[in-house]
Structure 1
């Protein structure tokens, strides 16, 4: 996160008097509220928070704002008479969507709010009831939990605010999918799609987070692995004002986010690489059928059709496996290297088969299978190292050479 992407503005005094004569010490609890054109909800949200937050709960509200409307000005005006600190971190570039906004807020709690013990994440549209904020933190303190999730799917909770059967079905389907993909990381979390939760700041490794879209709880649970998780029920409310930001595009980003999380380990990436390679047979064979039926000789048609499979594999690998590494090389450089490696696989496989049969006396089918496995492993390793080599590795190498010289 670079400082020129956001500017924090303290909109009220960090230490103010409260009715019982004590003082609110900013930093113990930080509410992170991402906003995108939520001007119509700010007054009501802050009013309800003022009514809900007890005097003994040291609290600050941090809005991470991507708005193009007057939301920051509305926050500034509404914050003048509140018994807690309110700040705005406005981002010029909405990198990572809502999840990216939350991560920048989390990073801010480590940089300028080092005293923060708890981070509470909630939406600004009042579908997350503000009066539950003290209960989330209190439940964490009582149970010693690292993560407290407000759940719609435990006794006492409800998804009443989800508008229409379509959104209900999408939410339920996403919940089943995520829990099926991450059974260990999401153990004890009945509502991984919830955007309302409290987490101890000490267990959040913000530098490891790579959010994509709006499901930041999933990102935190999978990458930070809190040791103890508990839940409190909540009734999902109707939006106070405005319209939902959910869209088909956000749905696609969510699926890409799932793929990125699931492929975080080398073994998972290798399995994904193999599955994508298998799927490449479909465009390959379809292109071969088209070319041969158009009258092309089968040998050049085989070579040309192989490129259709290569392009298909490249697009899926870019989107699902190495999305976070695409910035390390220009796209033309990446696809060129990938194509060379994919076609070199054909040149390597035939000599390997001949070696296994002629030198080691293997049967043709078993030799072919072994050659396929060998070239697959080599191609995966070469693709990861030569096409998607992280920039940090190259930087360290250059630094080491400079030091030695």
Structure 2
């Protein structure tokens, strides 16, 4: 997959070098072109006419929103088992493509061509200023997002991955850094680096600019705020810092006002807890209570209670026997509780604790019970005839609607009211339904889950997101071998 813009001077050499590098492989080349010169598009059309393995997507001006979105469009059009993304300026050597593909075939989910590992080089960067900017941006990405540390070069535009890992994943990259988006949004992918020498540009002009730098910073902010599971350590630091600030200020005020130490601590600790809960209700911080596991929040609050008991005990031990610097001792006790919470949440310790606790498995009945659905059933994707479970749902869920979800893979939230007129009463019952396709390990649609509810409170977007997360986690399911299951 090659994003293209005004690279007419590199097209012939790129075609020849890719043909040689992939001579013994079955491949396709998808070019997403945003060119605005007079040469590139005619050459691309002629090349696609001569070589049927090449396909070009010519984006109109109104759809040209950057290299990242061009890559997303190209990946959506791909048909192979693996997708390799590279630039069209020959700074990404085509002979590296088979090496990336070999790593994927050996079992890696994502193979990254790295300039910053042993054997790699960034010699093709134009001037020391671009080299410095590249290193600084890489360091910043590694600092904020631990997910990017799986590779030494998270900002490269040269990588290969299994298509099923990106199929259906709605990426929103800004600027050039599509790999950064993928690493943060898919933190469970196994990553392997392959060294390569970033070559000097042979023809055309570089697309790097100050605007791309601004887009990169906006991309970092977007990933921080709109991917709740990202940058956990930084979000934990913000929550902890704000909590300690609230605790210290309130405790100092209460002690100066003459309130005894223990009641002051209880009030300040309760305020700190409320501050933490408020942060966790915000969208950006909602995933702090779990570590990429659907039921991980079951353990977060018990751990928090254990930590609270720990620092309350320490507080009582250092305060009650005699006179001490109460504020310092209280902050020390609170800090001990924070460290205890962090220790219990450590990725090496937490799985050991969870392994000794019972974890639930899910079936459609369990999802329906959690979401408050009255009816839930599977419809196999191959079923084209009317299913009996749809007969009693009227116009809310039709066979055509379920079939459309089975073909497109797009979930749907349906809400049906009896009348278009505004209703004066609040206790009006409303029918609603969730229609969610189920994908297998190859990202193929195998069944469609239908859940319906009738009551004063219809399904909302949050219910759809929860159901998609539960149904999409195959390792928690127990009824996948019998998709035609009705539950009432």
Query: Normalization by structure 1: what TM-score?
Result: 0.59
- How many corresponding residue pairs? 283
Q: 1:219 and 1:379 mapped to 2: Cα distance?
A: 24
Q: 2:182 and 2:107 mapped to 1: Cα distance?
A: 18
Secondary structure at 2:180 match in 1: helix
Query: Does the alignment pair 1:213 with 2:175?
Result: yes
Secondary structure at 1:190 match in 2: coil
Within the candidate set 39, 47, 50, 2:19 is matched to 50
Superposed displacement of residue 222, structure 1 = 1.9
In structure 2, what is the equivalent of residue 62 of structure 1?
Answer: 30
Superposed displacement of residue 44, structure 1 = 2.2
Secondary structure at 2:133 match in 1: helix
CA contact (8 A) 2:138 2:155 kept: yes
In structure 2, what is the equivalent of residue 39 of structure 1?
Answer: 8
In structure 1, what is the equivalent of residue 73 of structure 2?
Answer: 104
Q: Tell me: CA distance 1:270–1:180, structure 2 relative to 1, closer, same or farther (3 Å).
A: closer
1:4-403, aligned counterparts within 5 Å? 32-54=1-23, 56-70=24-38, 71-82=40-51, 84-94=53-63, 96-109=65-78, 113=79, 116-141=80-105, 143-187=106-150, 189-225=151-187, 227-263=189-225, 264-265=227-228, 374=274, 378=278, 381=281, 396=413, 398-399=415-416, 401=430, 403=432
Query: Which consecutive unaligned segments of at least 5 residues does structure 2 have?
Result: 243-252, 285-411, 418-429, 433-453, 456-488
In structure 1, what is the equivalent of residue 486 of structure 2?
Answer: none
Superposed displacement of residue 176, structure 1 = 1.4
Q: Tell me: CA distance 1:51–1:247, structure 2 relative to 1, closer, same or farther (3 Å).
A: same
Secondary structure at 2:194 match in 1: strand
Q: 2:41 and 2:134 mapped to 1: Cα distance?
A: 30
Query: Which consecutive unaligned segments of at least 5 residues does structure 1 have?
Result: 1-31, 280-352, 385-394
After superposing the two structures, state which structure 1 stretch, 169-178 or 75-84, moved more.
75-84
CA contact (8 A) 1:147 1:228 kept: yes
Q: 2:156 and 2:213 mapped to 1: Cα distance?
A: 15
Secondary structure at 1:120 match in 2: strand
CA contact (8 A) 1:192 1:218 kept: yes
CA contact (8 A) 2:223 2:230 kept: no
Superposed displacement of residue 195, structure 1 = 0.7
Superposed displacement of residue 185, structure 1 = 4.6
Q: Tell me: CA distance 1:275–1:210, structure 2 relative to 1, closer, same or farther (3 Å).
A: same
CA contact (8 A) 2:174 2:219 kept: yes
In structure 1, what is the equivalent of residue 462 of structure 2?
Answer: none
Q: 2:89 and 2:10 mapped to 1: Cα distance?
A: 6
Superposed displacement of residue 378, structure 1 = 4.8
Structure with higher RCO (Cα < 8 A, 6+ apart) = 1
Secondary structure at 1:149 match in 2: strand
Superposed displacement of residue 245, structure 1 = 1.1
- Larger Rg: 1 or 2? 2
In structure 2, what is the equivalent of residue 295 of structure 1?
Answer: none
Q: Tell me: CA distance 1:92–1:399, structure 2 relative to 1, closer, same or farther (3 Å).
A: farther
Secondary structure at 2:146 match in 1: coil
Q: CA RMSD in A?
A: 3.9
Superposed displacement of residue 167, structure 1 = 0.4
In structure 1, what is the equivalent of residue 387 of structure 2?
Answer: none
CA contact (8 A) 1:35 1:63 kept: yes
Secondary structure at 2:149 match in 1: coil
Superposed displacement of residue 162, structure 1 = 0.2
Higher percent of residues as helix: 1
Q: 2:103 and 2:282 mapped to 1: Cα distance?
A: 49
Superposed displacement of residue 155, structure 1 = 2.3
Superposed displacement of residue 210, structure 1 = 1.9
